Amino acid sequence: MKVSWPAGTAVVEGSFAEEIRRRCGENVFLCVQCRTCASGCPTRRFMDGSPTELMRLAQLGLAERCLQGNAVWYCASCQTCTTRCPQGIDIARAIDAIRIIAQERDDLEIDTRGQKSLNRIWMAMLKYMGRAYELGLMGLLNLVSLRPFKDFGLGMRMIVRGKISFLPSIRRPLAMIRLFKAAKENRP
């Protein structure tokens, strides 16, 4: 799909910035590096970068650095940055697009501390169960990270105290499967 950019914007055809724009409509070149987004980000302290740095890396076309850091995975999509950006960039949306690109790139070695697997398991649960199943999420994540008993004690304590349920609660899976199918078909 051909992307139209504001006059005066320097864009390399097929660039990473163009790919982000194609997927979500956000123009990373509007970022003036004011750091408002980074300063208000609640998960910034867990990131090896920041939303500001992600915008800069995208501007510079440094896709691999953007995709291989953990910032996209620690972003909680809370939209604090989006509401504060003086340039009106929907940063959370742009990061969503970067996360999807990273998810599609199986060739990348990504420092996610399991975040990529968590994302996949989480989305599969939403698709087939219609809602989160915390015990299954925790167990599957530990299985794929080859530490099956890592949170066993914690999980048991949470079940006993009624914080999480032992069995999943499945809600309208067919409707969710249809929703995921429609989202996939309408993906840019």
Can residue 24 be called a binding residue for ligand SF4 (CB under 6 A)? no
Q: Find the distance separating the first CA and the last CA of the chain, reported in whole Å.
A: 8
Residue closer to ligand SF4 by CB (options 35, 171) is: 35
Q: Pick from 16, 20, 51, 121: which binds ligand SF4 (CB under 6 A)?
A: 51
Determine the interface stretch with ligand SF4 among 10-18, 38-46, 105-113, 146-154 (rule: CB under 6 A).
38-46
Can residue 34 be called a binding residue for ligand SF4 (CB under 6 A)? yes
Residue closer to ligand SF4 by CB (options 85, 125) is: 85
CA proximity to 33, closest of 57, 61, 13: 57
DSSP H helical ranges for the chain:
16-24, 36-40, 51-60, 63-68, 71-74, 80-84, 91-104, 115-129, 134-144, 152-160, 173-185
For residue 58, the minimal CB distance to ligand SF4 (Å) is 10
CA proximity to 31, closest of 74, 89, 71, 82: 89
Q: Pick from 17, 20, 21, 36: which binds ligand SF4 (CB under 6 A)?
A: 36
For residue 90, the minimal CB distance to ligand SF4 (Å) is 9
CA proximity to 48, closest of 68, 25, 28: 68
For residue 158, the minimal CB distance to ligand SF4 (Å) is 25
In angstroms, the Cα distances linking 118 to 122, 123, 137, 155 are: 6, 8, 7, 17
Q: Are residues 63 and 87 in contact, defined by beta-carbon separation less than 8 angstroms?
A: no
Return the structure tokens found at 132: 């989160």
Can residue 76 be called a binding residue for ligand SF4 (CB under 6 A)? yes
Determine the interface stretch with ligand SF4 among 60-68, 86-94, 119-127, 160-168 (rule: CB under 6 A).
86-94
Determine the interface stretch with ligand SF4 among 51-59, 107-115, 123-131, 158-166 (rule: CB under 6 A).
51-59
For residue 86, the minimal CB distance to ligand SF4 (Å) is 6
SS3 98: helix
Chain positions contacting ligand SF4, by CB under 6 A:
31-37, 41-43, 51-52, 55, 75-81, 85-87, 89, 91-92, 95
